[in-house]
Structure 1
Amino acid sequence: MIAAALMVLVAVCIALGLMEGLTRLFFPAFDPSGRFEFRHKAGPLWLGQPGVAQRQVKNTGDYDVAVRINRHGLRDAHDIAEATAGDLVVVGDSFAWGWGVEAEERFSDRLQALTGWRTFNLTTPTNIAGYEALLDYAKSLGAKIRQVVMAVCLENDLGLYGTADELADDPAAGWKEWLAERSAAYLLLTTMVHQTPWLNALAVRAGVIIPNLEGISKNDHEPEAIESSADKLQGLSKRYRLLVVLIPSRALWVGENRAVEDRVHKDLVTALARRGVAVLDLRPLFEKGGAPLSYHFANDGHWTAGGHALAAEAIAKCLAGGACR
Structure 2
Amino acid sequence: MSTPSPSIAGRLPAHRRLRRILGRLALAAGGLVAGVALAEIGARLIHPAGNADLLFNAPDTTPRGLYLVDHELLLVPAPGFSAVSRGLDHRVPLRINSVGVRGPEPGEKRGERWLAIGDSFTLATQVAEADTFEQRLAALLSAPDARVEVFNAGVDGYSTWQATGRYTRLDGTLQADGALLTFFLGNDLQDNERFPMLLPDARRHPEGVPIPRPTTAPWTAWLTRNSYLYAHYRVWNRARALRGGRDPFRQQWRDELSIFTTGGRGRLQGLLPSTRRALQQLRDRVQRAGDRLMVAVAPPAFVVDRERVAPTFEVVGLDPATADLDAPGAAVLSTLSALHIPACDLTPALRAGARTDRMYLTYDGHWTPQGHAVVAEALATCMERR
Q: Is the 8 A contact 1:83 1:120 kept in 2?
A: no
Question: Is it true that 1:238 corresponds to 2:284 in the alignment?
Answer: yes
Match for residue 155 of structure 2 among 121, 124, 138 = 124
The equivalent residue for 2:66 is 38
Deviation string 1:76-127 (CA, Å, 9 cap, x unpaired) is 21439x7699411111111110131011111011111111202211111211
Amino-acid identity (%): 22
Distance in 2 separating the partners of 1:260 and 1:244: 22
CA-based RMSD of the aligned residues comes to: 3.7
Match for residue 107 of structure 1 among 133, 142, 146 = 133
1:168–1:155: structure 2 CA closer, same or farther, 3 Å change rule?
farther
Q: Is the 8 A contact 2:223 2:230 kept in 1?
A: no
Question: Is it true that 1:179 corresponds to 2:205 in the alignment?
Answer: no
Larger Rg: 2
Distance in 2 separating the partners of 1:302 and 1:169: 28
TM alignment of 1:265-284, pairs within 5 A: 265-284=329-348
Match for residue 229 of structure 2 among 195, 205, 227 = 195
Please state how far the C-alpha of 1:270 moved relative to its aligned partner: 1.5
The equivalent residue for 1:320 is 384
Give the residue type in structure 2 aligned to 1:129: W
TM alignment of 1:1-325, pairs within 5 A: 35-45=63-73, 46-58=75-87, 61-79=88-106, 86-116=112-142, 117-125=148-156, 126-139=158-171, 142-159=173-190, 164-165=196-197, 178-180=214-216, 183-191=217-225, 194-195=228-229, 199=233, 203=237, 207=241, 217-218=256-257, 219=259, 220-221=264-265, 222-240=268-286, 241-252=292-303, 253=306, 254=309, 255=313, 256=319, 259-289=323-353, 291=355, 294-321=358-385
Distance in 2 separating the partners of 1:304 and 1:225: 29
Give the residue type in structure 2 aligned to 1:270: S
Distance in 2 separating the partners of 1:106 and 1:299: 19
Q: Is the 8 A contact 2:106 2:174 kept in 1?
A: no
Q: Is the 8 A contact 1:296 1:307 kept in 2?
A: yes
1:184–1:261: structure 2 CA closer, same or farther, 3 Å change rule?
same
Deviation string 1:167-194 (CA, Å, 9 cap, x unpaired) is 7998x989xx5234xx422213445664
Q: Is the 8 A contact 2:63 2:84 kept in 1?
A: yes
Give the residue type in structure 2 aligned to 1:309: A
1:103–1:191: structure 2 CA closer, same or farther, 3 Å change rule?
closer
Deviates more, 1:91-100 or 1:223-232: 223-232
1:192–1:274: structure 2 CA closer, same or farther, 3 Å change rule?
closer
Deviation string 1:49-85 (CA, Å, 9 cap, x unpaired) is 2222201111xx21111101112332121439x7699
Distance in 2 separating the partners of 1:247 and 1:33: 22
Q: Which has the higher contact order (CA 8 A, sep 6+)?
A: 2
Higher share of residues assigned helix:
2
Deviates more, 1:256-265 or 1:63-72: 256-265
Distance in 1 separating the partners of 2:354 and 2:238: 28
Deviates more, 1:276-285 or 1:48-57: 48-57
Distance in 2 separating the partners of 1:103 and 1:190: 23
Q: Is the 8 A contact 2:141 2:380 kept in 1?
A: yes
Deviation string 1:196-242 (CA, Å, 9 cap, x unpaired) is 587557645654999xxxx7841343313223313321332233211
The equivalent residue for 1:14 is none
Please state how far the C-alpha of 1:251 moved relative to its aligned partner: 4.1
Query: TM-score w.r.t. structure 2 length?
Result: 0.62
Distance in 2 separating the partners of 1:43 and 1:69: 20
Deviates more, 1:45-54 or 1:161-170: 161-170
Query: TM-score w.r.t. structure 1 length?
Result: 0.72
1:98–1:35: structure 2 CA closer, same or farther, 3 Å change rule?
same
Distance in 1 separating the partners of 2:184 and 2:61: 30
Distance in 2 separating the partners of 1:161 and 1:190: 31
Give the match's secondary structure for 1:239: helix
1:197–1:38: structure 2 CA closer, same or farther, 3 Å change rule?
closer
